[in-house]
Amino acid sequence: MNTIKGPAIFLAQFMGDEAPFNSLDSITTWVASLGYKGVQIPSWDSRCIDLQKAAESKTYCDEIVGMLAAKGLQITELSTHLQGQLVAVNPAYDLGFDGFAPDSVKGNPKARTEWAVQQLKYAAKASQNLGLNAHATFSGALMWHTVYPWPQRPAGLVEQGFKELGRRWLPILNTFDECGVDLCYEIHPGEDLHDGVTFEMFLDEVKGHKRANLLYDPSHFVLQALDYKQYIDFYHERIKMFHVKDAEFNPTGKQGVYGGYQSWINRAGRFRSLGDGQVDFKSIFSKLTQYGYDGWAVLEWECCIKDPVQGATEGAPFISSHIIKATEKVFDDFAGTGADEELNKKILGL
């Protein structure tokens, strides 16, 4: 068993235009003061990192690592959630997802996809230069608009969609393999990879690629009414990253999983700050420790009620209190009799 590393924090939801949230230097000084030991960096935010430069310059990466080390911090992973989304976009979502792309490729889906793929390849090399072994992303979605279909899906649609998804991601996965980095998909509604079954369908298309792994976030499973604890039993060998995010699901006679087009605060399923939702983190930390997870526990703050600064301030001690120092001894060793083959034979009646 291993002891989970942490606490760490994903910076994406905290970046802003005012200090201390407007630069990597200032925001990391702030999170270090709260007790965090690691930061997960959104690679699309130029206030945090120049992704292409990080891919091309080991010196630049060393400077970032050194700056953070002086504050007692490490980079846990880079994230390409927004760029990964653009690897696969159904035309129904072109206008919405153009907002994630640079002006040079907006309105041009082919160029946008090529840009996104290059971003992922930069992220692989940047992660290698930073000494990281895992990376966070989204799968994108070609089929999400058919997830609860009417009219029914044409025969073969899903199979063809996953074949195309695998075709797009396989060269990216190979690049990550060359760089020695696991590519971890955050399994998330809105993505074609949104539960265990869809992840398995994707694995089939990429031939079980060893770099196709998982970012485990139980909040997305609470909102789907999926057993997020058994999920760990099924997929622990592929779980290489962990977002510590809380959620609650309170269905009523008026709405359930789909939320009735309501705002987040009025939905049956809502993300919450740590400790304010329904996620059983004690069981999660126990299971991950049991299965030998040796990565980071990273706070992702998303809450429609609580202020983000309060959420971040409460998050570090919450995570620290749930990290289990893995035991190095067996509790009943005191009663052991040692290894004795002849004794064992007598006990067995042999």
Question: Residue 265 and residue 319: Cα distance in Å, rounded?
Answer: 25
pLDDT value at residue 333 = 67
> Which residue, among 317, 219, 314, 300, has the nearest Cα to 13 in the 3D structure?
300
pLDDT value at residue 340 = 84
Q: Grade residue 335 by pLDDT with cuts at 50, 70 and 90.
A: low
Backbone angles phi, psi at 345, to 5 degrees: -65, -40
Say which CATH number the domain at 34 has: 3.20.20.150
Share the mean pLDDT of the chain: 96
Give yes or no for a contact between 5 and 34, defined as CB atoms under 8 angstroms apart.
Answer: no
pLDDT value at residue 102 = 97
Give yes or no for a contact between 140 and 89, defined as CB atoms under 8 angstroms apart.
Answer: yes
Give yes or no for a contact between 225 and 249, defined as CB atoms under 8 angstroms apart.
Answer: yes
pLDDT value at residue 343 = 87
pLDDT tens, 178-204?
999 999 999 999 999 999 999 999 999
Give yes or no for a contact between 114 and 167, defined as CB atoms under 8 angstroms apart.
Answer: no
pLDDT surpassing 90 at residue 339: no
pLDDT surpassing 90 at residue 328: no
pLDDT surpassing 70 at residue 120: yes
Between the CA atoms of 147, 153, 155 and 156, what dihedral angle is there, to the nearest 10 degrees? -40
pLDDT tens, 216-245?
999 999 999 999 999 999 999 999 999 999
CA 89 distance to own-chain centroid: 20
Domain that holds residue 101: 5-348
Structural domains in the chain (count): 1
pLDDT surpassing 70 at residue 331: no
pLDDT surpassing 70 at residue 139: yes
264-292 average pLDDT score: 97
pLDDT surpassing 70 at residue 318: yes
Give yes or no for a contact between 168 and 212, defined as CB atoms under 8 angstroms apart.
Answer: no
Angle at CA of residue 85, ends 157 and 100, nearest 5°: 135
Q: Report how far apart the first and last C-alpha atoms of the chain are (Å, whole number).
A: 34
Question: Residue 197 and residue 96: Cα distance in Å, rounded?
Answer: 27
pLDDT value at residue 337 = 66
pLDDT surpassing 90 at residue 332: no
Question: Residue 255 and residue 263: Cα distance in Å, rounded?
Answer: 12
User: What count of Cα atoms within 13 Å lies in the side-chain half-sphere of residue 253?
Assistant: 0
Backbone angles phi, psi at 299, to 5 degrees: -65, 125
114-120 average pLDDT score: 98
pLDDT surpassing 70 at residue 334: no
Backbone angles phi, psi at 186, to 5 degrees: -80, 115
121-126 average pLDDT score: 98
Angle at CA of residue 222, ends 86 and 322, nearest 5°: 100
pLDDT surpassing 90 at residue 270: yes
Element (H, E) at 170: helix 157-179
pLDDT tens, 24-76?
999 999 999 999 999 999 999 999 999 999 999 999 999 999 999 999 999 99
DSSP category for residue 89: B
Q: Grade residue 327 by pLDDT with cuts at 50, 70 and 90.
A: confident
Within 208-283, strands assigned E span 212-216, 239-244, 246-249, 269-272
106-117 average pLDDT score: 98
Question: Residue 189 and residue 82: Cα distance in Å, rounded?
Answer: 14
